[in-house]
Amino acid sequence: MNQTPPVIVIAIDALEYEKVLEFNCKNLMQDFYGKTDISEFSDARTMVLWSSFMTGENKEEEILIDGDKEMWSKKWDLSDTFFSKFKSPVVLDLPGYSYDLKVHEKSRKLLKNYFQTDDEARKIAIVAEYNNDALEHHNEVKSKFYIDLYGDHDFILAYFSVIDVIGHLRFGQNVLMRLLYANVDEMCANIKKNQPESRIIVLSDHGMKAVGRFGDHSSYGFWSTNWKDLGSPRITEIAGLIDGRN
């Protein structure tokens, strides 16, 4: 078994800095926290930002040239990423690497259907299915994550999309968003309790801003660690900051 505590990355799509503070999510804040700089990108695209994070390079042009639909099939090899610097990495559901394309394609289809119908009953049914699917997938990834924490790994990353997925339709509804933030805050607390010697980073690709009851991507991300103040890092710099044990 691996004797060195793993480096753990909790990758949470659209985790909003201001909401973490508003909801007082102490476990998500950890000891140090701040905003990531994504100003080098023309748009806060999920696939672009996570690809740039794992490769340490701005991949916007390379990703967007594939088109809005085709870019979601992009997969980087282990050798293209900083994960390769670890002996036994495990990466769960990360866009551009180990993404469950079928699950996420369904959520995007439901979102499109929601905005294309004027039938209120149909909208309600779509939201119910959309939210249930997002929560079910979230719980599946979380269960795998907890299991991998006890495996022989020196690097563990799990990607959680539920805040982004549900936020696009309901970010303006604070009660629902507070529950989702509490869920991931509790998850972080459990990991810290069971892996007290590990270096843990919570990271988002971008945040989210309210547009009425809906949500749209904001122009910065969120980071926190339990070991070091990262300042205001570019998302392409994060890999170098968590690559080793410095």
State the first-to-last Cα distance of the chain, in angstroms, to the nearest integer.
23
The single-letter DSSP state of residue 3 is: -
pLDDT for 183-205, tens place per residue? 999 999 999 998 989 999 999 99
pLDDT digits (tens, 9 = 90+) for 22-62: 999 999 999 999 999 999 999 889 999 999 999 999 999 99
What global pTM score does this model have? 0.94
Q: Which residues pair with 210 in a beta bridge?
A: 215
Neighbours of 212 (CB within 10 A): 7
- Quote the Cα angle for 142-179-25, to 5°: 80
CATH of domain 7-242: 3.40.720.10
User: Biggest alpha carbon distance in the chain?
Assistant: 57
Domain ranges of the chain: 7-242
The predicted-structure confidence for 130-147, as pLDDT tens digits, reads as follows 999 999 999 999 999 999
What's the whole-number mean pLDDT along residues 178-185?
97
Percent of the chain predicted with pLDDT > 70: 97
